[in-house]
Amino acid sequence: MFQEVPNQVGCCDFCENQNVFIKEFEDPFGVHVMNGCFYGCGDKRNETEKG
Ligand SMILES: [Zn+2]
């Protein structure tokens, strides 16, 4: 029932953006390892209403 919609806001571990929509990346064992921009780094759709 997972939907491809951003539901988390946080800091991306790949770029320096903060307060962007993120998704969690897990290793093959399902352990959360990093956060990344939901739509990919550099995509303005990641930005929250704040900007
Ligand atoms: Zn990013």
pLDDT digits (tens, 9 = 90+) for 1-12: 556 788 899 999
23 Cα: distance to centroid of ligand 1 (angstroms)? 10
Are 11 and 40 spatial neighbours (Cβ–Cβ below 8 Å)?
no
Neighbours of ion ligand 1 (CB under 5 A): 12, 14-15, 37, 41
Enumerate the β-bridge partners of residue 8. Answer: none
Q: What is the pTM of this model?
A: 0.78
Taking the centre of ligand 1 as the mean of its atom positions, its distance from the CA of residue 45, in whole angstroms, is: 11
pLDDT in tens, 31-51: 999 999 999 999 999 999 755
